[in-house]
């Protein structure tokens, strides 16, 4: 394996989780180091990891869970906690099938859980020391929030992939549904060339800074000008390469002082901080690309940092923690904006289709409804 310097076994659950994450990322980087044309994730392999109820894991956990799936051959990126598995068996009335109890859902013998890290917040009034819920705190005005101290805590939960349970045999209906929902993301040739939400974001200046596709051969985020410059799309071998490069620079731009404030005074070219920022941008852009069904190869300029990344990962557990937390925050900013534009486009299309149907003759509408009904049977 990687040569990672493990601490003793008395470390906290968080320390042990971070050690595992470090080992996994080291293995991934070493595999890329031997062949840097390999993508960060296997092409069209997995959708974004979720829990059983469909809630998405954050960027840091999503990154590690996708690697965990690839390593173990899991094709459905859905995960349970032990308690969730038990809740599937709680109500006998819901488990009746033809008058007989359905089999219990169990975790298979010998299967091991995988850690996910979730941040919880304790909110305490500065004067009375009374606590309030974090959701209530978020609803307060900025002035009201000044009355409270907020204490974040990173918690470790253990999860199992659905393939580590007998769900397929015990609940074939749920399993079939998960298989259908988690099929491989395959883009058409047109989609590989053009991704409308990002194209519109560029055109309408919808990102946190201007994005300027320009006919030249460099891609970069300028801190002094607060702008992204990339070559024009037709200069890339395909659309995926263009968007992958752009996502890399978009992740960089989230580090500006007015946003996530990652850039330090000593983070100039060639420094360890600069190298770490490149890793944040590489992991973050790979994760964003995977979310939208694209393949992301390591940026050629970043290959020079592979050894530095490996050395830092092997030497310092804190390095992986700060890096993954930065990846989490940066990818959240990118995906939230792209998802919002994607929803706007979908809403516009729905309104257009509704108006189109309203303007048709009644016979035309009836025929279309019949045709759609036949198609969906």
Question: For residue range 102-118, what is the model confidence (pLDDT) as tens digits?
Answer: 889 999 999 999 999 98
User: How large is the average pLDDT for residues 208-218?
Assistant: 95
**Greater confidence, 58 or 123?**
123
What is the per-residue pLDDT for 367?
44
**Greater confidence, 179 or 38?**
179
- The DSSP code for 234 is G
Query: With 60 as the cut, is the pLDDT of residue 371 above it?
Result: no
* Beta-bridge partner residues of 39: 297
**Greater confidence, 45 or 312?**
312
From first CA to last CA, the distance across the chain in angstroms is 51
Question: For residue range 250-300, what is the model confidence (pLDDT) as tens digits?
Answer: 999 999 999 999 987 666 666 778 889 999 999 999 999 988 888 887 776
Cα separation of 167 and 228, whole Å?
47
What is the per-residue pLDDT for 92?
46
Residue with tokens 């917040």: 121
Residue with tokens 């595992």: 20
Query: With 90 as the cut, is the pLDDT of residue 122 above it?
Result: yes
The model's confidence at residue 374, banded by pLDDT at 50, 70 and 90, is: very low
Query: With 50 as the cut, is the pLDDT of residue 369 above it?
Result: no
What average pLDDT does the chain have?
83
Cα separation of 330 and 253, whole Å?
9
Question: For residue range 74-99, what is the model confidence (pLDDT) as tens digits?
Answer: 999 999 999 988 888 875 445 555 65
What is the per-residue pLDDT for 365?
43
Decide if 227 contacts 210 (C-beta within 8 A): yes
For the entire predicted model, the pTM comes to: 0.74
What is the per-residue pLDDT for 119?
86
Decide if 214 contacts 229 (C-beta within 8 A): yes
Cα separation of 5 and 3, whole Å?
6
Query: With 60 as the cut, is the pLDDT of residue 361 above it?
Result: no
Question: Quick one: the chain helix, strand, coil %, rounded to 5?
Answer: 50, 15, 35
What is the per-residue pLDDT for 353?
61
Question: For residue range 218-251, what is the model confidence (pLDDT) as tens digits?
Answer: 999 999 999 999 999 999 988 888 999 999 999 9
What is the per-residue pLDDT for 253?
97
Residue with tokens 């500006």: 256
Highest mean pLDDT among 67-81, 312-326, 355-369: 67-81
Q: Is 49 exposed, middle or buried (0-12, 13-18, 19+ CB in 10 A)?
A: buried
Q: What percent of the chain has pLDDT over 90?
A: 50
What is the per-residue pLDDT for 266?
65
């Amino acid at each position: 394996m990687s040569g990672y310097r493990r601490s003793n076994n008395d470390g906290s659950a968080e320390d042990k989780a971070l050690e595992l994450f470090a080992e996994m990322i080291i293995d991934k980087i070493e595999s890329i180091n031997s062949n840097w044309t390999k993508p960060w994730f296997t092409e069209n392999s997995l959708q974004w990891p979720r829990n059983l109820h469909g809630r998405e894991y954050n960027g840091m956990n999503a990154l590690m869970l996708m690697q965990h799936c690839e390593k173990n051959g899991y094709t459905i990126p859905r995960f349970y906690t032990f308690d969730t598995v038990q809740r599937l068996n709680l109500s006998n009335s819901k488990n009746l099938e033809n008058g007989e109890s359905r089999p219990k859902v169990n975790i298979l013998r010998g299967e091991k859980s995988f850690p996910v890290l979730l941040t919880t917040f304790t909110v305490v009034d500065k004067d009375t020391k009374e606590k309030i819920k974090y959701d209530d705190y978020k609803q307060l005005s900025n002035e009201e929030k000044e009355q409270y101290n907020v204490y974040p805590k990173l918690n470790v939960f253990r999860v199992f992939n659905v393939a580590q349970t007998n769900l397929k045999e015990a609940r074939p209906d749920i399993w079939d549904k998960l298989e259908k929902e988690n099929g491989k993301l395959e883009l058409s040739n047109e989609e590989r060339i053009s991704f409308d939400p990002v194209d519109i974001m560029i055109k309408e200046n919808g990102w946190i800074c201007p994005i300027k596709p320009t006919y030249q051969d460099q891609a970069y985020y300028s801190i002094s000008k607060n702008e992204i410059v990339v070559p024009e799309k037709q200069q890339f071998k395909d659309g995926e390469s263009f968007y992958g490069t752009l996502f890399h620079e978009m992740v960089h731009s989230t580090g500006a002082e007015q946003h996530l404030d990652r850039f330090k005074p000593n983070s100039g070219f060639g420094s360890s901080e600069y190298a770490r920022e490149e890793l944040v941008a590489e992991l973050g852009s790979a994760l964003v690309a995977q979310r939208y069904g694209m393949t992301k190869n390591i940026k050629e300029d970043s290959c020079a940092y592979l050894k530095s990344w490996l050395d830092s990962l092997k030497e310092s557990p804190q390095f992986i923690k700060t890096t993954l937390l930065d990846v989490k925050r940066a990818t959240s900013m990118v995906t939230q904006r792209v998802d919002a534009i994607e929803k706007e486009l979908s809403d516009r299309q729905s309104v257009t289709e509704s108006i189109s149907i309203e303007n048709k003759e009644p016979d035309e509408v009836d025929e279309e409804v019949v045709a759609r009904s036949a198609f969906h049977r």
